[in-house]
Amino acid sequence: MNNTQTSNPRSAQSKYKNREDLAATGERLKLSAHVPQGMGGIYTFPLELPFRQGDEGIVKTTIIGTTGCSTCVGVYIPIDDDRCFAAHFDGASYKRPRNSSVYQVPDALAEYFKLAVKTSLDHVFKGKEQDVETIRRREDLKARAVVVSTWLVVGGQKGPGFYIIDVLCDYFQLDKLKLASKCSAHHGFVVDHCDQSSQSLHLLGWTRPAPDEKVFDEISKLADSCPEPGWDEKFMSIYRTTYEWVMPWNAGWWARPLLNAGEKKPFRFRYYHDEAESGKGRGKWGVGP
C-alpha cells in the first residue's frame, strides 16, 4: 500500500457525456462501488461487484464512492488497510404538502434526530467499538476522511445535513473546519481505499461553479410556485436546466451499486407524524424503507 497521506484532493473533470460515451471509448473501465442513498456500513476490500447489471461476472475493486448529496451527507472514513466506514445519510419528514420543509429539522426535534443518527452508528459499530477508538486516535485516518453535503441550511432552517455532520464529527472526533475546507461545494466522491496518495480521492462537483444554499432556496421557491403537483420533480427539473452534476461515469469510473434487493437502509431517517397529533408536530424519527 502507498503510505503517502492524502492531501489536496482533485475535483473530477467531466470527460464523457454519459455511460455510453464511456463504454464506447474501448478504454479499460475503472469500477467504483457506489453507496446508494440511505445505505452504509463497514466495507472490507477488495469489494466484489457484478461488472454490469444482469452480468454474472464478478470483478473486484478497491474504489468506493457516492453521489447526489445536497441535504444528504456522503461519508468515507478509513479504519485500517483493508476496511472503511462509508455511508450516504438521508433524512426527511413524511408530511403533506411535500416541499422544501420536509428537509428542515425543527429546533425542537434536533436532539431527537441527532440521537437517531448516533443510534444507527452505534448499531453499525456494535462489537467493533475499538475501530471507533482507532479512528479517534489516529490523525492519519481522520486526515483522509471525506464528508460531503451542499444544502445544510434549508430556507433559513437547519436541515438534516447540518446535524448529521455534527454527529459524525462528535462520534469520530473529526475537525469540522478541515472537512469543510477540503470537501465543500461537492455532491459526491470517488476514492481508492488502497491508495493513500493525493491522487486517490476525486471529489465530484458540477460542470460549472457549485450552487450555494441561496441558489437551492431560490430553486425551491420556484418549485413551490408551480401549480402542478410533484414538488420533487419540479425542483429537479428547474435545477437541471442550470446545473449539471459531474458523475463517476463522466470522469471515467463505472459505478456499480452495493445495494441488494430488499436490503434495509440503515441510514435513511424519516420523521413519521402521528396522524392524531400531526397538527401539533408529534411523531417519531425512524429508519425509513
Residue 52 domain flag: yes
9 — pLDDT class (breaks 50, 70, 90): low
**Number of neighbouring beta carbons within 10 Å of residue 53:** 7
Average pLDDT over residues 71-89: 97
136 — pLDDT class (breaks 50, 70, 90): very high
Residue 2 domain flag: no
Q: Which residue has the higher pLDDT, 170 or 48?
A: 170
Q: Does the pLDDT value for residue 90 go beyond 90?
A: yes
CA distance 173 to 182: 17
CA distance 192 to 189: 10
Average pLDDT over residues 80-88: 97
183 — pLDDT class (breaks 50, 70, 90): confident
Per-residue pLDDT at 99 = 85
Residue 259 domain flag: yes
72-81, 120-129, 193-202, 205-214: segment of lowest average pLDDT = 193-202
Per-residue pLDDT at 142 = 96
Is residue 201 within 8 Å of 139, Cβ to Cβ?
no
Global confidence as pTM: 0.87
Residue 4 domain flag: no
Q: Which residue has the higher pLDDT, 150 or 48?
A: 150
Per-residue pLDDT tens over the stretch 49-75: 876 655 566 788 999 999 999 999 999
Per-residue pLDDT tens over the stretch 215-227: 999 999 999 888 7
Residue 65 domain flag: yes
Task: Tell me which residue has cell 459505478.
Answer: 255
Per-residue pLDDT tens over the stretch 250-287: 888 888 887 554 567 889 888 876 644 444 445 677 77
Residue 5 domain flag: no
Residue 66 domain flag: yes
Q: Calculate the alpha carbon distances from 166 to 111, 134, 244, 279 in Å.
A: 11, 19, 28, 29
Residue 131 domain flag: yes
| Strand (E) or helix (H) holding 182 | helix 176-183
Nearest to residue 211, comparing CAs of 239, 230, 176? 239
> At 227, phi and psi to the nearest 5?
-75, -25
Domain total for the chain? 1
Q: Which residue has the higher pLDDT, 195 or 28?
A: 195
Set of cell numbers at residue 240 = 437541471
Per-residue pLDDT at 278 = 41
Supply the range of the domain harboring residue 100. Answer: 10-287
Per-residue pLDDT at 98 = 77
111-115, 118-122, 134-138, 263-267: segment of lowest average pLDDT = 263-267
Per-residue pLDDT at 187 = 96
Per-residue pLDDT at 3 = 36
